[in-house]
Chains A and B, each alone.
Chain A
Amino acid sequence: MGPGTEGVMMAPESTATEKTPEESLRETMPAPILETRDLSIFYGKNEAVKKVSLPVPERRITAIIGPSGCGKSTLLRALNRMNEFIADVRMEGEVLYRGHNLYGKNVDPVEVRARIGMVFQKPNPFPKTIFQNVAWGPHINGLVPRRDLPELVERSLRQAGLWDEVKERLGESGLSLSGGQQQRLCIARALAMQPEIILMDEPASALDPVSTARIEDLLFELRERYTIVIVTHNMQQAARVSDYTAFMDLGVMEEFGETDQVFTRPRHERTEDYVTGRFG
């Protein structure tokens, strides 16, 4: 069953035309490349994420919105096994990539992270040159032979919309760029790994409005080739940028659906309260 709390069961005799909202959604939505099933994440005794089943449709942008502390970042980090660096964290449920559980016994978390990229809230380029920043990931993972690295770097920087600004100074430190440029560098860095999925944790929240707009434009371009999951506390951003939206509150995923529907015809009261600004 999809998200939502009604739990409508289809009676066998009902006609084929009567579909639940969840089922129609499943029909029109591209198949999820990634999804969680009853995922719960505990920090010690605190249950930060409660039985969330989130589908991430392929080659679409899925936004996760919700008030502070609702667990959206925690949920995001579970998708590429970045939660494991926190002591005392425990998980129940599954995270499935094309049907295979990423937390299965024989799965190497390092490989998961090589395949699912992440961009963080505050730009965090390495104290290396711009070139090295983008090339390091593919290099240590042996994705391309050394001589092909310059081409990969250029391609990634172009995709991130940064190439023209830095092509003359690839040898300068990544830290010498402005905040918006640094974030695009981090995006290029993630793209260089040629992932299928990119996770973004509030990528524009530390940036000025102009840089934010550039990043949002970038997302539109990337959408054709990558599946993107973006966590944001900026509702307008989610409404502008994403195809599907999940609303979380206090660890529970209250609603999931097409962005248009979630914002204009939310099915749950809590969702409506949030998107109309009554709280959060």
Chain B
Amino acid sequence: MATAPATADLAFAKKRRLGEGGIKAVLFVCALLSIFTTAGIILVLARESWTFFREIPLPDFLFGTRWTPLLVPRSYGVLPLLGGTAMIVIGSALVAVPVGLASAIYLSEYASERVRGIVKPILEILAGVPTVVYGYFALTSVTPLLRAVIPATNIFNAASAAVVVGIMILPTVASLCDDALRAVPRSLREAGFALGATRHEVATQVVVPGALSGIIASFILAASRAFGETMAVTLAAGATPKLTLNPLESIQTITAYIVQVSLGDTPAGGVEYKTIFAVGALLFVITLGMNVVANRVLRRYQEVYE
């Protein structure tokens, strides 16, 4: 009597376990996809770049100051693109860092819960606006304003794009800095006040230094986003790769160049086509590097408050 149900149970259990194993395998493959994606990105970029760099020597690419892959005479120095991108990153940081950090300090050290409840969602909305909308805004509102104030401003210029990218990444800075500041325990603020410090002294000399690693990481992450930003700079910053220090001139960023080539009719396999991958590889490596540095800053220097 006792054996029959036991074997039936065992058979059922075995089937269940097999089914379970199958499902686990499917789930596992889905998780592995992330590794495949990274591998795919690296392989694709590396393979085409490899053939590119067989024709164009790497030093010419990295240190050359003329970028004219689509015009004769062809030149493949990437510095103008890097310079253009750098202008956007620096310009946007000039907007986003002070405003973002100041907002975070205000929200975490001064503002009431009610004000936080209004401002934080608005910042999230700012972050959710698609980048093409920011590009439109730069071209149709910021540039005309700039030209009204400084008539020498070009219709396409780095400044408009930088301002708008700054607005785009400002919520990132504000939100990450806010998290970092709020992680500083209340007891530290109390210690500051108990020594006869004013609110701004506690905020700037106790709390901000106590959240420094998170704040710096937020700057790096925001800069990384500005580096990879595409639509706003494509629409507003121009398509003329050149090395210049004048933000009122037209320039071209790495990302805008990639868009330009894609919109054109470049045959696959030619050197022009491969510039997409060479430049894309540079973009990938730099943004990845920035993200890694930001995370390392967080991990190594994060203040430990029990």
Contact = CB atoms under 8 A, between A and B. Distances in A.
Touch test A–B (CB under 8 Å): yes
B187 A115 contact: no
Interface stretch (A15-23, A135-143, A224-232): A135-143
B141 interface: no
A126 B187 contact: no
Main secondary structure on B side of the interface with A: helix
A124 interface: yes
A13 B265 CA distance: 116
Contacts of B198: 110
Interface stretch (B28-36, B202-210, B249-257): B202-210
B194 A80 contact: yes
Given A120-B190, A140-B201, A113 B209 contact: no
Interface stretch (A30-38, A186-194, A252-260): A186-194
A85 B195 contact: no
Interface string A109-131: 01111110110101011111000
Contacts of A235: none
Nearest to A117: B194
Nearest to B303: A127
B190 A111 contact: no
A166 interface: no
B271 interface: no
B302 to A, nearest CB: 11
A193 B191 contact: no
Interface of B: 185, 187-188, 190-198, 201, 205-206, 209-210, 303-304
B206 A140 contact: no
A186 B191 contact: yes
A113 B194 contact: yes
A175 B302 CA distance: 13
A124 B195 contact: no
Nearest to A141: B196
A126 B204 CA distance: 13
Interface residues of A, number: 27
A114 B191 contact: no
Contacts of A175: 303-304
Given A126-B206, A127-B303, A136-B205, A113 B190 contact: no
Q: When A and B form their complex, which 10 residue pairs have the shortest distance between CB atoms, in order from nearest?
A: A114-B196, A137-B195, A118-B194, A124-B187, A113-B196, A124-B191, A127-B210, A127-B303, A141-B196, A110-B196
B188 A85 contact: no
Contacts of B201: 140
Contacts of A190: 194-195
A272 to B, nearest CB: 35
B197 A82 contact: no
A125 B306 CA distance: 13
Contacts of A124: 185, 187-188, 190-191
Nearest to B187: A124
A115 B190 contact: no
17 contacts: A82-B190, A82-B194, A110-B198, A113-B196, A114-B195, A117-B195, A120-B191, A122-B187, A124-B190, A126-B192, A127-B303, A136-B205, A140-B195, A175-B303, A189-B191, A189-B195, A190-B194
Nearest to B196: A114
Contacts of A141: 195-196
A85 B191 CA distance: 13
Contacts of A118: 194
A111 B196 contact: yes
Nearest to A119: B194
Contacts of A117: 194-195
A126 B210 contact: yes
A55 B201 CA distance: 33
Nearest to A173: B303
